[in-house]
Structure 1
Amino acid sequence: MADIILETRKLTRDFKGFTAVDRVDLRVQRGHIHALIGPNGAGKTTCFNLLTRFLSPSSGQILFNGTDITRVPPARVARLGIIRSFQISAVFPHLTVLQNVRIGLQRRLGTSYHFWRSGRSLRRLDERAMALLEAVGLAGLAQSLTADLPYGRKRALEIATTLGMEPELMLLDEPTQGMGHEDVHRVMELIRTVAQGRTVLMVEHNMKVVAGLCDRISVLQRGAVLAEGSYAEVAADRRVMEAYMGSAAEGAGDAAAPLQGTPQ
């Protein structure tokens, strides 16, 4: 039996007659990088919001490490070890890179966040913060103002801050969105590195990223699971191609093109 860290059973979310997530059965294996993909409007981010309890499901169950967390408040879900990033980079622009990571680490103190406290009281966190910055390639920018970072480096900083919260399961929502080729490659390598010893569930539109990183892929269409398997398996599924070609016809660009063959 596979070691399943996260499972959903018939997970559903309705919005005034519109079903955004439709009876989704999802099983994420511990230690895997698992992707949720699908055309625009397929329900991927809504599914993330349900898993982290930013939204409550209309019906169905969410289990984490075998425990039902369907009605658990979002803050407690985070404390259990499910930590997410967002499509828009969520960093404090007017703090330094080091200070951003240190905020994520304050949870380790076992007290409230000390925004009003002297920086000297938090320096015990600096060693761990620098280790996290080293892991994401930002140690040399520790004293830089976050607002001055390129977009790709801000995403790397967000991942470092997420790691500071010691996630057992990382949920990454469009980690390479809006990036150029060089930044995409850098973030791919970063995700590959930080996934060692962790489980990652990611929403991603870039199929080259999905093909290069993911052990398993779940394809959503109109809120329901359309297909599931390895990249090669879902790329060969005619229903998946039809879903993406339909999306492309509605202005989704060339998102479907990489599905036509596994990248080298």
Structure 2
Amino acid sequence: MSEEQPIIEARGLTRSFHGFVAVNKVDLRVRLGSVHALIGPNGAGKSTLFNLITKFLAPTEGRIFYKGEDITALRPDEISRKGMVRSFQISSVFPHLSVHENVRVALQARSGATYSFWKSDSRLDAFNGRVDELLDSVGLAAFAHVSAVELPYGRKRALELATTLALDPEVLLLDEPMAGMGREDIARTADLIRTVSRSHTVLMVEHNLGVVADLSDTITVLRRGEVLAEGSYAEVSANAEVQKAYMGGGHHAH
């Protein structure tokens, strides 16, 4: 992969639903090692675009490349094995296992250890050091023996992130990781993403422009399924069209 080649690239990505064009000829280039945010008002097509990139939807037109390889025809599980892993979709957490056990299960799954090995404690202990490292990295060390169901909401999200990191992804795809969070959890999750981004490329969907302000290297703003603006936070927040779209009326404008 050359310096210039993006780790993820979408070319002319389009998706129609019964004649409604949700995503229209979108080009996207995600740089290796960057935090790239997809934002836009409701109905902008950001979730559809995210579902296309993560292969949960097939494009009507267009291609998707990962490290220069055309992955347009691959299934979600195939791209996750290549290192593009989506978190915060359907909660991947087992509610009645402890936080520690949840992360250990994810590590075992990654290593291909089958169910029969779970009964042998010595096999499991091999994972414990890594579990502790992961819990520490997402601020959950103190919650290791709490069952997942008892965690506060923001901490559940941290556990989902830890189980995703256990899969050892190269690119982390986050779907509205701050949704439903209060200010304290948002700040904590932003710090988490910042930490993770030191060793991973991050592509995230976010509704709130302010949340991604000091987190993202590049922000792509969508409106009505098309790219409205792209650049740093300073660049996109100064854009009159972006201001209009965000100050209301953007998606009703003629």
TM-score (norm 1): 0.89
Partner of 1:261: none
Q: What residue is the counterpart of 2:207 in the other structure?
A: 205
> Which residue among 182, 185, 196 is the counterpart of 1:183?
185
Give 1:48 deviation, angstroms.
1.3
The offset of 1:248, in angstroms, is 8.2
Partner residue of 2:148 out of 131, 146, 149: 146
Partner of 2:108: 106
Q: Tell me if the contact between 1:168 and 1:198 (Cα under 8 Å) persists in the aligned partners.
A: yes
What residue number does 1:131 align with? 133
Match of 1:229 among 221, 226, 231: 231
Alpha-carbon shift at residue 146 of structure 1 (Å):
0.6
Assess, with a 3 A threshold, how the Cα gap between structure 1 residues 249 and 62 changes in structure 2: closer, same or farther.
Answer: closer
Contact 1:33 1:200 in 2 (8 A): yes
Q: Residues 93-150 of structure 1, C-alpha deviation per residue, up to 9 Å, x if partnerless?
A: 11110111112212332345x2894262433212111110010110111111111111
Whole-Å separation in 1 of the counterparts to 2:234 and 2:90 = 30
Aligned to 1:86: 88
After superposition, the C-alpha distances for 1:47-78 in whole angstroms (9 at most, x for unaligned) are: 11111111111110000000000001111110
How many positions carry a matched residue from both structures? 249
Q: 1:4 is paired with a residue of what secondary structure?
A: coil
Counterpart for residue 64 of structure 1: 66
> Does the CA contact (< 8 Å) of 1:217 and 1:229 recur in 2?
yes
Provide the secondary structure at the position in 2 that maps to 1:182.
Answer: helix
Partner of 1:34: 36
Quote the Cα distance in structure 1 between the aligned partners of 2:38 and 2:140. 28
Distance in 2 (CA, whole Å) between partners of 1:36 and 1:101 is 28
State the alpha-carbon separation in 1 of the partners of residues 12 and 162 from structure 2: 33
User: Which is further off, 100-109 or 85-94?
Assistant: 85-94
Q: Deviations over 1:4-55 (max 9, x none)?
A: 1000000111111111111110000011100000001111111111111111
Note if 1:118 corresponds to 2:119.
yes
Structure 2 unmatched runs, 5+: none
Question: Does structure 1 residue 158 correspond to structure 2 residue 178?
Answer: no
- CA distance in 2 between counterparts of 1:115 and 1:47 reads 39
Distance in 2, matches of 1:118 and 1:129, equals 18
1:168 pairs with 170, 174, 179, which one?
170
Tell me the CA shift for residue 216 of structure 1. 0.5
| Structure 1, 204-213 or 86-95: larger mean CA deviation | 86-95
Q: Post-superposition shift, 1:85?
A: 1.5
Alpha-carbon distance in 2 for matches of 1:89, 1:178:
14
Aligned partner of 1:256 in structure 2 is none
Kindly provide the CA deviation profile for residues 167-193 of structure 1, in whole angstroms up to 9, marking residues without a partner as x: 111011111111111111111111111
> Superposition pairs for residues 228-247 of structure 1, below 5 Å?
228-246=230-248
Q: Which runs of 5+ in 1 are unaligned?
A: 251-264
Superposed CA offset, 1:208-260 (max 9, x none) = 2210100000001111111101111111111111111235898xxxxxxxxxx
Segment of structure 1 superposing worse, 172-181 or 98-107? 98-107
SS at match of 2:199: coil
Q: Which moved more, 1:164-173 or 1:1-10?
A: 1-10
Hey, what's the Cα distance between the residues in 2 that align with 1:210 and 1:119? Answer: 44
Q: CA RMSD in A?
A: 1.9
Structure 2 CA distance for aligned equivalents of residues 20 and 101 of structure 1: 36
SS of the residue aligned with 2:136? helix
Equivalent residue number for residue 74 of structure 1: 76
Counterparts of 1:240 and 1:119, CA distance in 2: 56
Which has the higher mean CA deviation after the structures are superposed, 41-50 or 22-31? 41-50
